[in-house]
Amino acid sequence: MRTVTRGPAVPAAFAAALLTALAARAGEAAPRRPAERLGPPPPPRPARVVSLAPSLTDTVLALGEGARLVGVTRYDTAPAVKDLPRVGGFLDPSPEVVLGLRPDLVLWLTDAGAWPAVRRIAELGVPVLAIPVVGVPDVLASARLVGEALGAPEAGERLARSLGAAVADAERRAASLPRRRVLIVIGRDPLVVAGPGSYPDALLRIAGGENVVRGDRPWPVYALERAVADDPELVLDAAVNEPPETVLRLSAIPAVRAGRVVRLPDDRVLRPGPELPRALAELLSAVHPEAARP
Amino acid sequence: MRPAGLRPGWALAAGIAALVAAFALALVLGPQPVSIRAALAGAEPDRAILFGLRLPRAALGALVGAALAAAGVALQALLRNPLADPFVLGVSGGAALGGTAVLAASAAIGAATPLGALAGSGSAVAIGASAGAAASTALVFALGRVGGRLVPEAALLVGVVFNAFAAGVVTLVKVMVPPEQAARMLYWLMGALGYASGGALAAGAVLVTASLAALAVLSGQLNLLSLGDEEAASLGVEVGRARGAVFLAASAATGAAVALAGMVGFVGLIVPHFLRRAFGPDHRLLVPAAALFGAAFLLLADLAARLAFLSLGSEPPVGALTALAGGPFFLWLLRRTERGG
């Protein structure tokens, strides 16, 4: 059979592609994938490490190996790395600056935006450890992975265990408490919330909360009237880079009007990394103020 | 009439010199100081930065600049208007739409193996972008006709409106795809010269070279077409066929450029304008000169973007810089054209 392509074929192909895109579901598009090594194998104890994500920087610091870092992103705020060279951002690391630091290991939080740059870095002979971090199990796994890659597997194991213990502790404490219905606000204008499949959603579940947001998108732009109809018992204000009083723009939500708003102290707690215990403590005391103190 | 009577040989020699100089600067300068001697001796990281990063990126910039400037010359001849630029006319918008559709489809289909799917989709995006460019060119020139005659202002308006439409659809697709895919699209569409894989670069080089060669072959007919349809026909040009061939070549060049580097605007406006002033209106000279000077122009613009890293700690996409220069330039040119100057 011969396929004849004529004029209408092009618009038809566009339409098909758009329909396929419509059918794509964000939740399913983030499957758990294993960590990957790109480029040549790293030395057993890398001495010059570049971190391409603040949460991975935090992990290296938590392992007590901060002295081996030679470069971090421009979003890194930890005091221990404030004098280190910046290699660009999350989406736009500069391969030239990374190579110029002569790293023997690059830690990368898997992210499609930086993929061409990271692939090139690996092709040019720099060992890259690509770590996917989506959920809480990934945070524990990444502590072990970074520990192993730095030649400090015991420290990695210790960190992973202590993070695991914090999760188990929070779950145990939340188990006997009523589940509260919570809305997690990530951005105000437009209203962006943490949906199912996002890291804050996973933390909330551990801390005995129930996300009022349904659906399959981890970071949906949310209609304010839906938030009103959801009628959460508590609004968790994670938009910490905006002034606190601007949450009043959401005062159509009954919980905001009634002052049932808890603001997170900083945006580091929601980084999927060693801040996990602090994040769980914050969420636990926000969701269950009556029972949070041990 | 040739205002500044430079001989064609000299003009092309100047173009080659400009390209070589820009290429050399793109290799030598960057946020990281490197030593050429060390690089040639094989010392790291100098060798990797020079030959692994700057060389392929310079090649990419040269290809994209050459394609956009030559496509601009061709479209300006067809439309008989100096304001016709692949970006302004909506051809880049169509290419972005086509490429985005392919990206979105790859996100939907290849979700199980994102890295593999992303790596493999470079040529698919190029094909989608070229198809989108061809479709939007056809649309602009079909709807730009009033009473059977091509009216440049109408075609330009159609292009502007189509750009807005394409931007809307692209935004819609961005909302629908997973966030990491959306971030990748955003960065691509901003018009950044990044680090295309060797395969994508080779495919782009073939497509750009072929379409530039086609435009060079057609450049004699472009001279006649720029006189208007009736005049060209009376001089023995098969107007429909010739115009179709130019459409196709300009679309393929723009599609390849957009697939490689996203929406880099106004290169096809700025470069041809200065070349026409310097070398006169002969398209047999303008097409190759636009390819050479366009390549040099984009290399220098990208160099500025890379050096901005030093002060910003980040690299603005080169498309932002060309738009910064091109937007005011377009308005200036518009005022001048209105005054008949």
Report pTM.
0.81
For residue range B73-107, what is the model confidence (pLDDT) as tens digits?
A: 999 998 888 888 888 888 888 988 988 888 777 76
Are A153 and A233 in a shared domain? no
* Å between B274 CA and nearest CA of chain A: 33
Considering only CB atoms, B32 lies closest to which of A23, A31, A97, namely A97
Are A63 and A116 in a shared domain? yes
CATH code, domain with A49: 3.40.50.1980
Are A60 and A130 in a shared domain? yes
B212, B67 Cβ separation under 8 angstroms: yes
Give me the pLDDT at residue A280, please.
94
CB within 8 Å of chain A, chain B residues 294-313: 306, 309, 313
Residues in chain A within 8 Å Cβ distance of B169:
18
Per the DSSP assignment, residues forming a β-bridge with A234 are A182
Determine contact: B128 vs chain A, CB below 8 A.
Answer: yes
pLDDT at B133 over 60: yes
Last residue of a domain, one of A140, A167, A194: A167
This model of the complex carries an ipTM of 0.75
Lowest mean pLDDT: which of A202-211, B63-72, B239-248?
B239-248
Are A190 and A83 in a shared domain? no
Give me the pLDDT at residue A21, please.
36
Query: Mean of the per-residue pLDDT values for chain B?
Result: 85
Are A64 and A184 in a shared domain? no
Shortest CA distance from B95: residue in chain A: A14
CB within 8 Å of chain A, chain B residues 256-295: none
Give me the pLDDT at residue B119, please.
36
A29, B181 Cβ separation under 8 angstroms: yes
Q: What is the CATH number of domain B64-338?
A: 1.10.3470.10
Residues in chain B within 8 Å Cβ distance of A33:
114
Determine contact: B135 vs chain A, CB below 8 A.
Answer: yes
Last residue of a domain, one of A167, A186, A212: A167
Give me the pLDDT at residue B339, please.
61
Residues in chain A within 8 Å Cβ distance of B34:
100
Number of domains forming the structure of chain A: 2
Give me the pLDDT at residue A238, please.
92
Q: Domain segments of chain B: what residues? A: 64-338
Q: Do B173 and A21 touch (CB under 8 A)?
A: yes
Are A56 and A115 in a shared domain? yes
Average pLDDT rounded to a whole number, residues B110-132: 62
Residues in chain B within 8 Å Cβ distance of A111:
180, 183
Of these ranges, B184-193, B271-280, B288-297, the one predicted with the greatest mean pLDDT is B288-297
pLDDT at B3 over 60: no
Residues in chain A within 8 Å Cβ distance of B98:
14
Are A50 and A156 in a shared domain? yes
What would the 3-class secondary structure string for chain B be? Answer: CCCCCCCHHHHHHHHHHHHHHHHHHHHHCCCCCCCHHHHHCCCCCHHHHHHHHHHHHHHHHHHHHHHHHHHHHHHHHHHCCCCCCCCCCCHHHHHHHHHHHHHHHHHHHHHHCHHHHHHHCHHHHHHHHHHHHHHHHHHHHHHCEECCEECHHHHHHHHHHHHHHHHHHHHHHHHHCCHHHHHHHHHHHCCCCCCCCHHHHHHHHHHHHHHHHHHHHHHHHHHHHCCCHHHHHHCCCCHHHHHHHHHHHHHHHHHHHHHHHCCCCCHHHHHHHHHHHHHCCCHHHHHHHHHHHHHHHHHHHHHHHHHHHHHHCCCCCHHHHHHHHHHHHHHHHHHHHHCCC
Q: Do A30 and B178 touch (CB under 8 A)?
A: yes
Q: Do B180 and A113 touch (CB under 8 A)?
A: yes
Residue A157: inside a domain: yes
Considering only CB atoms, A22 lies closest to which of B128, B176, B184, namely B176
Shortest CA distance from B110: residue in chain A: A29
Are A159 and A186 in a shared domain? no
> Could you give the strand order of the β-sheet that contains A36-38, starting from the edge strand earlier in sequence?
A36-38, A128-131, A105-109, A49-51, A69-71
Q: Do B53 and A18 touch (CB under 8 A)?
A: no
* Å between A42 CA and nearest CA of chain B: 16
Give me the pLDDT at residue A209, please.
93
**Residue A182 in tokens:** 């919570």
Residue A48: inside a domain: yes
Last residue of a domain, one of A114, A144, A167: A167
Are A44 and A145 in a shared domain? yes
Residue A163: inside a domain: yes
Determine contact: B111 vs chain A, CB below 8 A.
Answer: yes
Q: How many CB atoms lie within 10 A of CB B39?
A: 19
Size of interface A-B (CB pairs under 8 A): 140
For residue range B170-213, what is the model confidence (pLDDT) as tens digits?
A: 888 887 777 666 766 777 777 777 777 777 788 889 999 999 99
Binning pLDDT at 50, 70 and 90, where does residue B121 land? low
Per the DSSP assignment, residues forming a β-bridge with A181 are A210
Are A73 and A130 in a shared domain? yes
Are A196 and A146 in a shared domain? no
What percent of chain B lies above the pLDDT cut of 90?
A: 33
Q: Do A14 and B111 touch (CB under 8 A)?
A: no
Which residue shows structure tokens 């202590």?
Answer: A162
* Å between B174 CA and nearest CA of chain A: 10
Give me the pLDDT at residue B195, please.
76
Consecutive 10-residue runs of chain A (294 residues): their mean pLDDT? 37 39 32 74 94 94 95 91 89 88 93 78 93 90 95 95 96 91 90 91 94 88 89 93 84 91 88 93 90 58
A34, A204 Cβ separation under 8 angstroms: no
Residues in chain B within 8 Å Cβ distance of A115:
115, 118-119, 184
Binning pLDDT at 50, 70 and 90, where does residue B6 land? low
| Residues making up chain B, counted from first to last | 341
Shortest CA distance from B184: residue in chain A: A113
Domain that holds residue A212: 178-287
Are A193 and A237 in a shared domain? yes
Give me the pLDDT at residue B15, please.
95
**Residue A7 in tokens:** 């004029």
Per the DSSP assignment, residues forming a β-bridge with B149 are B146
Shortest CA distance from A113: residue in chain B: B184
Determine contact: A19 vs chain B, CB below 8 A.
Answer: no
Residues in chain A within 8 Å Cβ distance of B32:
96-97, 99-100
Give me the pLDDT at residue A24, please.
34
